[in-house]
């Protein structure tokens, strides 16, 4: 069977993904930026930002001068690779062989797959339309080789499907950059006047090798099919699933508990051998009336303890309605966590968050009152107080930075709420403030503590914070936004101290 490949290009991968997560950005020009040496550089720009003059590689300061309403978001290293992997796993429904092509594409081996969609045209249309409907600016091309498909997908204007053995004709009119060459070789080709690949095809291979080295010939041969290219395929994760069919339908809680225990025993044996633990598990119960009921549990840290997980599920059994009976139980574990085997010891010291009994106690409490009621927070590397904390992903997650040494309130208001303030001197602490119609006379005050805005994220004034105490002994965290200018400075209440 002749080989056929499809290359999918996501022209605004990172900004499209961010717009899906934060819909409020869609109406504004926004970019992703990261620090490079002493400057902050744009790493990805939305289509609207590009239309107004902000492009990838431009300094954020220059982009703000061109686009007044530009929104700047911190770029996360490695995010493109993670997004492409997720999109590649989604594409496995169309072909079993999918490879990630950093920084913005996927390579699909579609040999023998397109007939299920009435040919290559229907196959390409199906995938591209679904990706665009999901919010991604995607385009694709099909050819005999990954190199030719990559060139057409990135640089061709029309005809995304290249006929068999016609890759030379398809790429002849494209620029040399379509061959995936290094910047050094592209610069030399431009200086020598090679504007299209067709000009390179007319020159003997020996002359090209002497002038440009082996890379140019290799890329040409790969695009034309004279040299083999083997993209590394994605390996989908093996699902953690256990099934238990029943000879007789299960109609009562003890029977459901026995079924769950058998499923957990088989699943935890596999997880323990692989050094993993359950973070999230879902139990699906298939009833004889054709309906499916399900319930699930989450843990604060990975666990492969059958007794502990069974206790969590026992709290959920009352939510399962067996009706006429359950004939099939399926236990799925969509989220697992790597676990380290604890060292045996004669006596246990104070292990803090490493104590498994603490995590098990939190799991039991969460099963009764809900996992959203138990949270752990870590410091985040941000100046703005409302951005300086983040929710921990697990009970064992380590902080990336330290907590600020300055005094901070136990409760923050997000967003801060406006108050009316009277001060004897504009730059002095307030003597009283009015909040929600109630007057608070200040007896003690400490400050100011100036906190500047993160200019690479958004624009605005700095804040001058004061810790104040009223006549009732209650302490508050208030701030003035910006400099005092003609008596129109705005004051805000940001938090309460215990």
Query: Tokens 């910006």 label which residue?
Result: 482
**Integer-rounded Cα radius of gyration of the chain:** 30
Residue 44 backbone dihedrals phi, psi, to 5 degrees: -160, 140
Q: What is the CATH number of domain 240-368?
A: 3.30.1490.100
Tokens of 79: 């995010």
Per-run averaged pLDDT (10 residues), the chain, 498 residues? 92 92 88 88 92 91 89 90 94 93 94 91 95 94 95 91 93 94 92 91 89 92 92 84 91 93 93 89 91 90 90 91 92 86 48 65 78 79 79 78 76 86 77 90 87 75 88 90 69 87
For residue 329, give the nearest of 371, 299, 293 by alpha carbon.
Answer: 293
392 neighbors 376 (Cβ within 8 angstroms): yes
| Dihedral sign computed on CA atoms, order 401, 406, 407, 413 | negative
146 neighbors 126 (Cβ within 8 angstroms): no
In angstroms, the CA 216 to CA 208 distance is: 8
The pTM assigned to this predicted structure is 0.58
Tokens of 262: 């058998």
Give the domain ranges of the chain.
Answer: 81-224, 240-368, 411-496
Helix (H, G, I), strand (E, B) or coil at 433: strand
In angstroms, the CA 475 to CA 478 distance is: 10
For residue 6, give the nearest of 224, 153, 226 by alpha carbon.
Answer: 153
Tokens of 249: 């339908």
In angstroms, the CA 22 to CA 24 distance is: 6
Classify burial at 338, counting beta carbons within 10 Å of its beta carbon; exposed 0-12, middle 13-18, buried 19 or more: exposed
pLDDT score for 460: 73
For residue 62, give the nearest of 38, 42, 48, 44 by alpha carbon.
Answer: 42
In angstroms, the CA 371 to CA 363 distance is: 8
443-452 contacts: CB < 8 A, separation 24 or more? Answer: 443/469, 443/470, 443/471, 444/468, 444/469, 445/469, 448/480, 449/406, 451/383, 451/384, 451/385, 451/479, 452/383
Q: What is the pLDDT of residues 120-129, one digit of tens each?
A: 999 999 999 9
pLDDT score for 351: 55
pLDDT score for 170: 93
Bridge-partner residues for 449, per DSSP? Answer: 465
Helix axes 183-191 and 205-212, enclosed angle (nearest 10): 110
Whether the upstream peptide bond of residue 178 has omega within 30° of 0, thus cis, is no
Strand order in the sheet with 39-45: 39-45, 30-36, 71-74
pLDDT score for 43: 92
Q: Are strands 71-74 and 30-36 parallel, antiparallel or unpaired?
A: parallel
pLDDT score for 487: 55
For residue 475, give the nearest of 490, 492, 495 by alpha carbon.
Answer: 495
């Amino acid at each position: 069977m002749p080989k056929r490949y499809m290359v999918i290009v996501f022209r605004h991968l990172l900004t499209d993904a961010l717009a899906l997560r934060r819909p409020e950005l869609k109406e504004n020009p926004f970019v992703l930026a990261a620090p490079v040496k002493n400057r902050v550089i744009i790493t990805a720009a939305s289509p609207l930002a590009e239309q107004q003059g902000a492009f990838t590689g431009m300094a954020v300061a220059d982009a703000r001068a061109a686009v007044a309403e530009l929104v700047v978001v911190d770029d996360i290293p490695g995010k493109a690779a993670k997004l492409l992997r997720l999109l590649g796993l989604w594409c496995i429904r169309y072909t079993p062989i999918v490879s990630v092509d950093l920084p913005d594409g996927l390579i699909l081996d579609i040999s023998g797959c397109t007939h299920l969609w009435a040919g290559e045209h229907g196959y390409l249309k199906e995938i591209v339309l679904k990706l665009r409907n999901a919010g991604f600016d995607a385009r694709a091309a099909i050819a005999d080789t990954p190199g030719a498909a990559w060139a057409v997908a990135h640089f061709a204007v029309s005809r995304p499907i290249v006929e068999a053995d016609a890759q030379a004709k398809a790429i002849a009119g494209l620029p040399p950059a379509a061959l995936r060459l290094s910047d050094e070789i592209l610069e030399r080709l431009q200086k020598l006047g090679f504007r299209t690949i067709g000009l390179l095809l007319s020159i003997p291979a020996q002359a090209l090798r002497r002038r440009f080295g082996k890379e140019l010939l290799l890329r040409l041969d790969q695009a034309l099919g004279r040299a083999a290219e083997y993209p590394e395929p994605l390996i989908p994760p093996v699902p953690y699933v256990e099934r238990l069919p029943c000879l007789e339908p299960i109609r009562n809680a003890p029977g459901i508990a026995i079924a769950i225990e058998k499923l957990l025993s088989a699943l935890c044996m596999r997880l323990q051998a692989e050094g993993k633990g359950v973070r999230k598990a879902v139990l699906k119960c298939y009833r004889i009336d054709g309906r499916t009921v399900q319930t699930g549990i989450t843990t604060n840290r990975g666990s492969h303890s059958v007794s502990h997980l069974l206790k969590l599920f026992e709290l959920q059994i009352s939510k399962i309605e067996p009706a006429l009976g359950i004939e099939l139980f399926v236990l799925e574990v969509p989220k697992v966590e790597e676990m380290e085997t604890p060292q045996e010891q004669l006596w246990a010291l104070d292990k803090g968050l490493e104590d498994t009994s603490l995590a098990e106690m939190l799991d039991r409490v969460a099963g009764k009152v809900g996992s959203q009621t138990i949270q752990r927070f870590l410091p985040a590397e941000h100046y703005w107080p409302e951005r300086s904390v983040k929710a921990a992903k697990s009970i064992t997650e380590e902080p990336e930075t330290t907590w600020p040494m300055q005094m901070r309130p136990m409760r923050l208001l997000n967003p801060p709420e406006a108050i009316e303030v009277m001060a004897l001197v504009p730059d002095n602490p307030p003597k009283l403030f009015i909040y929600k119609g109630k007057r608070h006379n200040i007896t003690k005050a400490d400050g100011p503590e100036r906190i500047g805005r993160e200019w690479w994220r958004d624009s605005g004034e700095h804040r001058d914070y004061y810790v104040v105490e009223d006549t009732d002994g209650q302490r508050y965290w208030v701030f003035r936004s910006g400099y005092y200018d003609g008596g129109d400075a705005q004051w805000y209440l940001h938090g309460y101290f215990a």
